[in-house]
Structure 1
């Protein structure tokens, strides 16, 4: 098969379409013929040499895919060859074939094409595990989503509204109207306005890290929950512990990729039970900015790093009889 390999740490130009050995499913795994793979910030970090894949994962980037099941490993039940699926994986998604633990596989949801389904596993698992499982967002509460125009952000806005929350998002002005269409109640242009001056949130989903830490705590209501899932604003920040105590607030940091397969499987079960019905009812949809041929991964990474996209960027193989939707 062919896959996108990283010739050396560096810019998008180090991504090359290369012939590599075919994978084979071990016990408890499924082999997927890839129709599409979703891009994530972690892919760019891996390309730069800053985020190696977990032990046992392929060296190729790509943490979510969609396609059709080609083969089943020993002991796999509940799936069939030829079934359209999407999956959360530890790596290797930028390829024609990939194996995935059966517990991290999801059926392609109704009203979703097999290609666009690649936009869902990583964002759904990330947002669900943090906003619902950890932060326990409740109807009537306020959710503040940083990076509203990203794949994570566009999904979080929709899930927050589906759960009955008031949703505030930070994003560039150019993305405001589309976020309002997705259900955001308010969009703050972070280039000209300080969100901490005007927002009181019960739950904050943060991709920035250090540079937003103090302002995030300031923006929390009493009993609020701040969940940090990214470090785009740096690793270090100053925290007023007195303010944290006064607000009786929770600050948590999480990652998804390095978790054990059993933990990921539990998250995927929750996604299938609680989020997939919302997708099938049309309350949440995959938001796809653009689709590139897999061989054009370098160009796709340039768009990802420009921050000009809205929603997810996909790489497609032309397999599974579909190239878009």
Structure 2
């Protein structure tokens, strides 16, 4: 079968279309005929060799897929061959004609939801829902999202609109031409990031910081966190070393709460919990949440779309049509 593969860690020269054996599901797994595969920045970090992203080399990226169940492994119940599903392929493999994943990380697609929209649910929308749930955001809160462009940034704007926070500021890189999703006030992540974020928030500090850039941006974010604020790290897109965490004294003095979130590590350790988040997103859809249409590119554009994402030239969510 055809697949996109990273030969090893490095630059775009490591990416190629290859022909590899079609995988077969093991116990507790399902095989999926892939129609669409979502692109995520985690795959950029994997290709660059960041620790914890690629389980080995060569590596087939693709952590979100949508398609039909092609085969069932031993012990799998609740699915039938031909079911239209989305799945979180936590170990990658989705940018291929067929992928195998744990059955607990797959879900049937609601009848009225287009597959190309649903394919972003298992990683992108589950991350947004989990972040909002875990920080208990209310209408009284002032919220900063340090990575507001891309799929998760768009999803956070939509999910947060249901909580109607008092203010919502989204940060972008200085060279980003991306249009922010409705609801965001814009701040630029440059040398004056903390001041820009606070200015966009009418001079106020933030009750909640949802942080995915890491490094200097993560360090600066504590400078705009209000007393009793909640800080969540869910990524490190800048590739910089993690900054020093606040001291216990700082935490007590400010009554801050700090935490971390990774949908990938959650899925590896507790597929059922990740599966519940997928179900929670679909429940919101049934209740009226609209998933925006992604940018869909053809298979022949998959490699260029990955490179564009790595270079910050890819607004919103991008999905690859694996099969015509």
Coarse TM-score class (shorter-chain normalised): 0.7 to 0.9
Alpha-carbon spacing, 1:53–1:171, altered in 2? closer, same or farther (3 Å): closer
Q: Structure 2: which 5+ residue stretches go unaligned? A: none
CA distance in 2, matches of 1:35, 1:83: 13
- Specify the alignment match of 1:271 in structure 2: 278
Q: Could you list the per-position Cα deviations for residues 69-127 of structure 1 after superposition, in whole angstroms to 9, with x for gaps in the alignment?
A: 11122222222221111111121111000011111112224543212322221112222
Cα distance in structure 2, aligned partners of 1:209 and 1:48: 16
Over 6 Å off, 4+ runs? none
Structure 2 distance, partners of 1:32, 1:158, is 29
User: Who is 1:249 aligned against?
Assistant: 256
Q: RMSD value over aligned CA atoms?
A: 2.6
Which stretch shows the higher mean deviation, 207-216 or 135-144?
A: 135-144
Find the counterpart in structure 1 of residue 187 from structure 2: 188
Structure-2 change in CA distance of 1:29 and 1:298 (3 Å): same
Quote how far apart the aligned CAs of 1:23 are: 0.8
Aligned runs of 1:165-314 on 2, under 5 Å? Answer: 165-166=165-166, 167-171=168-172, 174-176=177-179, 178-180=180-182, 183-184=183-184, 186-191=185-190, 194-196=196-198, 198-233=203-238, 234-239=240-245, 241=247, 242-259=249-266, 261-272=268-279, 274-288=280-294, 290-314=295-319
Any residues of structure 2 matched to 1:92-111 within 5 Å, and which?
Answer: 92-111=93-112
1:89 equivalent in structure 2 = 89
Query: 1:153: Cα distance to partner?
Result: 0.6
CA distance in 2, matches of 1:85, 1:171: 33
Give 1:139 deviation, angstroms. 4.1
Contact 2:22–2:98 (Cα < 8 Å) also in 1: yes
Structure 2 match to 1:62: 62
Does the aligned pair in 2 maintain the 1:144–1:204 contact within 8 Å?
yes
**Alignment partner of 2:271: what SS?**
helix
Cα distance in 1 for partners of 2:112, 2:204 equals 35
Instruction: Report whether the alignment pairs 1:19 with 2:24.
Output: no
Report deviation, 1:46.
1.7
| Deviations 1:175-205, CA, capped at 9 Å, x for gaps | 45x422xx33x23244576214534322211
**1:236-276: CA deviations, max 9, x gaps?**
3255535433221112233332345452321321331x321
154-163 or 46-55: bigger deviation: 46-55
CA shift digits 1:262-308 (9 cap, x unpaired)? 52321321331x321222344231452x3222343320112102213
**2:115 is aligned with 1:114:** yes
The equivalences for 1:117-128 within 5 A come to 117-128=118-129
Residues 66 and 114 in structure 1, CA contact (< 8 A), matched pair in contact too: yes
Name the SS of the counterpart of 2:36 in structure 1. strand
Alpha-carbon contact 1:2-1:18 (below 8 Å) kept: yes
Between the aligned partners of 2:189 and 2:268, the Cα distance in structure 1 is 37
Cα distance in 2 between the residues matched to 1:237 and 1:119: 30
Q: In the alignment, is the contact (CA less than 8 A) between 1:131 and 1:203 conserved in 2?
A: no
Aligned partner of residue 215 in structure 1, secondary structure: helix
1:315 is aligned to 2:320: yes
Q: Displacement, 1:10?
A: 2.3
SS at match of 2:314: coil
After superposition, what is the alpha-carbon deviation per residue over 1:28-70, rounded to whole angstroms, capped at 9, x for unaligned? 1111100111111121122223345565999311111111111
TM-score of the aligned structures, taking structure 1 as reference length: 0.85
